[in-house]
Structure 1
Amino acid sequence: MSARILSTILIIVFVLGLVDRPRAAEPNPLRAVVGIQASIPSDARTAGSLGTERRGGGVLIDGAGLVLTIGYLILEAESVAVEDAAGRRIPAEIVAYDHETGFGLVRALGPVDGQPVRLGAFGSISPGHALLAAGPGFARPTVLIDRRPFAGGWEYLLEAALYTSPPIPNFGGAALFDTEGQLVGIGSLLIGDVSGDGAGIPGNLFVPIDLLAPILGDLLAFGRSTTPAHPWIGLYPNEVDGALVVGRVSPGGPAAAAGIRVGDIILGVADEPVRAMEVLWRRLRALGHAGVDIPLKVMSDGIVRDVTVMSRDRHDWLKLRRSY
């Protein structure tokens, strides 16, 4: 039996399992999946790294057209549209973007052919649990491999990311459903080693849905969380042979203003050594909120020097064309 046929059978069994339950009158979760299309100006801060035409998925979470997606799809967008199950392209407005979780919210400005999903909790699933990943035009069974912290090179830190395998296509903004048809995560990344033990098992990273509820009120009211922002310094390190090598510096950002360059090695925060991104981001956050001075020990061209970076709120650096 081919992998394609087996995958199709597993999807059918999964979905039939949902509708055969006593709660059969509840909507099929796949009806909540929509497409997201966003256009970003060429002068946007993220245009070079994320592109000016972005496509991905989203999930309808209320009856008034509110769609949850992954934030990088809509970041700095000048126009956004939702594509529903009937293939209709509906103009949408940006409601919110949250850097700390990675979530983005948009609201369709017209009726959407779909039904809102129920929100679940990642605490109800554990490694080995069967799940369903779905995006525009596809739905595939997947398995939760691990639940552990994730540190991204864009000053991003999740305490309990969801790692699944096998990998899915078009993972950005994809929905992750449990066997009850509840939304438990939003797709973010393709990962080369989801087990984290060097086995090289490919898969995806999903942002757990539990992170939405504590900030949803703020996102709807203000377009962002009102929790004080973490310090942002505007550098993108790579972990290379046990060292943090600067791979990119944000133009006009704090690190650039402090003279940090591509190829520099970040040795420590004050007198505390750092060799991993997770440790670096935790050390920065321990110093306080956005605006705090960040004392870094940096090696440039073989010379070690102390550099003080005046951190900022990343939102103030982005060119956000708010429609909310």
Structure 2
Amino acid sequence: MGSGVAYRDNIVLTNAHVVGDKAQVEIILADATRTPGQVLATDTVTDLAVVRTERTGLPQIHYRTELPRPGETVIAIGSPLGFENTVTAGVVSGLHREIPGSAKQTEALVDLIQTDASISPGNSGGALLNTRGEVVGINNAYMKPITGAVSIGFAIPTSTAVDVADQLLEHGKATHAYIGASLGRVTSALDTRLGLPVDHGAIVLAVDPGGPAATAGIQPGDVIVQFADKPVRTVEDLLGHMRGTEPGQNVRTTVIRQNQEQQLTVTIGQQSD
């Protein structure tokens, strides 16, 4: 059992691991009615899936594509352990997280939202909402208590969920631009510690050996300030610009390295399910 969110009139968005390899599922709606669901497509790279329901007229929900801010109040809704319509509340604990030990080091999951709103088995695929009722993320995973963690959960940002869901509905699969770099946010504390010449951009934390970034000459410590001739002030900017590129495309990239601006060319790679 898992959770899901209405996406279109007869489409539900959920996690790929919730539907597994099933072609048919049963959906229990908030009013307790049941309807058959057909799994249209899944994407294991981002752990997202779209399901078509026989019942139409699902409510229209606003998906907020801007990332929430750390400290912002959020609400998780789902059916943890079979307790239907369960609501838990907390705050956004952090952004741009990766699940420790995860084998998926992908650009699509570089900006996971961390929250302390309680997420339990069965919450996966449910909505993470802000106080205005807007979907800001799709609940995805949590750190188990056996690890010593307390209230550490993760959600896929809405910007990623919407992009992938639309691709799955249109093409039956999702393709992800890939540059092979782990990215971080430039903060004032980081700026002071490293003596960065800029107060914005996406700092490169690591590069995949042999990946597009490494091949282009990008190094850890570089700050990407322009990508595809568009300014990069945040990690979200870079991810958004990447979604507008195609695999094989040569993209001019400006980085700051040791107080010097350098122009590099990155050949976009491809990552797909």
Aligned to 1:180: 132
**2:65 aligned partner, one-letter code:** A
**2:119 aligned partner, one-letter code:** I
Task: List, as ranges, runs of 4+ consecutive aligned residues in structure 1 with deviation greater than 4 Å.
Answer: 227-231, 284-289
Q: CA deviation at 1:110?
A: 2.3
Aligned to 2:155: 206
SS at match of 2:89: strand
**1:118 aligned partner, one-letter code:** H
Aligned to 2:87: 139
CA distance, structure 1, for counterparts of residue 176 and residue 64 of structure 2 = 24
Aligned to 2:168: 219
Aligned to 1:80: 25
Q: CA deviation at 1:191?
A: 1.9
Q: CA deviation at 1:314?
A: 7.5
Aligned to 1:118: 62
Aligned residues: 185
CA deviations over 1:282-322 (Å, ceiling 9, x no partner): 44754899xxxxxxxxxxxxxxxxxxxxxxx884xxxxxxx
**2:8 aligned partner, one-letter code:** D
CA distance, structure 1, for counterparts of residue 97 and residue 210 of structure 2 = 16
List gaps (5 residues or longer) in structure 1. Answer: 1-54, 232-277, 290-312, 316-324
**1:167 aligned partner, one-letter code:** S
List gaps (5 residues or longer) in structure 2. Answer: 80-84, 181-204, 216-246, 248-270
User: 1:149 aligned to 2:97?
Assistant: yes
Q: Is the contact between residue 163 and residue 204 of structure 1 (CA under 8 Å) also seen in structure 2?
A: yes
Q: CA deviation at 1:135?
A: 0.8
CA distance, structure 2, for counterparts of residue 117 and residue 145 of structure 1 = 24
CA deviations over 1:31-69 (Å, ceiling 9, x no partner): xxxxxxxxxxxxxxxxxxxxxxxx110000122x11111
For residues 156 and 107 of structure 1, do their structure 2 counterparts lie closer, same or farther at Cα, with a shift above 3 Å needed?
A: farther
TM-score by length of 1: 0.50
Of all paired residues, the percent bearing the same amino acid is 20
Q: CA deviation at 1:72?
A: 0.9
Paired residues for 1:99-118 under 5 Å: 99-111=44-56, 114-118=58-62
Q: CA deviation at 1:207?
A: 0.5
TM-score by length of 2: 0.58
For residues 147 and 68 of structure 1, do their structure 2 counterparts lie closer, same or farther at Cα, with a shift above 3 Å needed?
A: same
CA distance, structure 1, for counterparts of residue 135 and residue 210 of structure 2 = 32
CA distance, structure 2, for counterparts of residue 279 and residue 102 of structure 1 = 23
CA distance, structure 1, for counterparts of residue 131 and residue 73 of structure 2 = 7
**1:209 aligned partner, one-letter code:** T
C-alpha RMSD of the superposition: 3.2
Paired residues for 1:192-203 under 5 Å: 200-203=149-152
For residues 62 and 229 of structure 1, do their structure 2 counterparts lie closer, same or farther at Cα, with a shift above 3 Å needed?
A: same
CA distance, structure 1, for counterparts of residue 211 and residue 140 of structure 2 = 23
SS at match of 2:169: helix
